[in-house]
């Protein structure tokens, strides 16, 4: 998923959460637009952070898989050498 889609999706979720909050309080949803902007910004930043975390986790997993494959090759080579 692209970063833009992630940030916009989280921002829209933030807007929906803000609208739900105002609906529960039975307040006018267009009363304080700055609150909507703040909620969308905070949730958008969380979306950006989640995207970056996912990318970093994928990099770490790739490195770990390569390390495990290298260890397996060494242990197989050592086992074959010991059998000979």
User: In angstroms, what CA-CA distances link 54 with 26, 44, 47, 48?
Assistant: 37, 15, 10, 10
pLDDT in tens, 43-65: 999 999 999 999 999 999 999 99
The domain limits of the chain are: 3-83
CA distance 3 to 42: 15
**pLDDT mean across residues, the chain:** 94
pTM equals 0.75
Residue 44 burial (CB count, 10 A) = 20
């Amino acid at each position: 998923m692209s970063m833009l889609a992630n940030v916009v999706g989280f921002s829209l979720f933030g807007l929906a959460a803000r609208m739900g909050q105002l609906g529960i309080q039975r307040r006018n949803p267009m009363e304080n637009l700055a609150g909507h902007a703040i909620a969308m910004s905070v949730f958008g930043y969380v979306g950006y952070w989640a995207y970056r975390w996912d990318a970093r986790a994928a990099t770490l997993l790739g490195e770990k898989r390569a390390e495990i494959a290298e260890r397996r090759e060494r242990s197989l080579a050592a086992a074959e050498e010991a059998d000979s």
